[in-house]
Amino acid sequence: IRQAAEGYYRALRVARAQGQLQNQAVVLANFGALCLQAGAESLAQHYHRESVTLFARLPSRECGPDLT
């Protein structure tokens, strides 16, 4: 789990540095899933909320408000 978390953290830093909102949202969703798997439910909720917030900011054709 630690190795996966480190990889997600690196991916998130790159996505943020490049301003890639969709990639940030995907990484945050993956972080949330990883936290849930590790039993860290509150942290999982935090990352999932951040992910949904970013997805909602995207144009609908890029997984926007309807998250499809």
pLDDT (mean) for 36-65: 88
Q: Please report the domains of the chain, with CATH numbers, ordered by start residue.
A: 2-62 (1.25.40)
User: Got the DSSP string for 8-54?
Assistant: HHHHHHHHHHTT-HHHHHHHHHHHHHHHHHTT-HHHHHHHHHHHHHH
pLDDT of the residue at 59: 84
Q: How confident is the model at residue 61 (pLDDT cuts 50, 70, 90)?
A: low
Q: Tens digit of pLDDT for each residue in 10-50?
A: 999 999 999 999 999 999 999 999 999 999 999 999 999 99
Kindly report whether the global pTM for this prediction surpasses the value 0.95. no
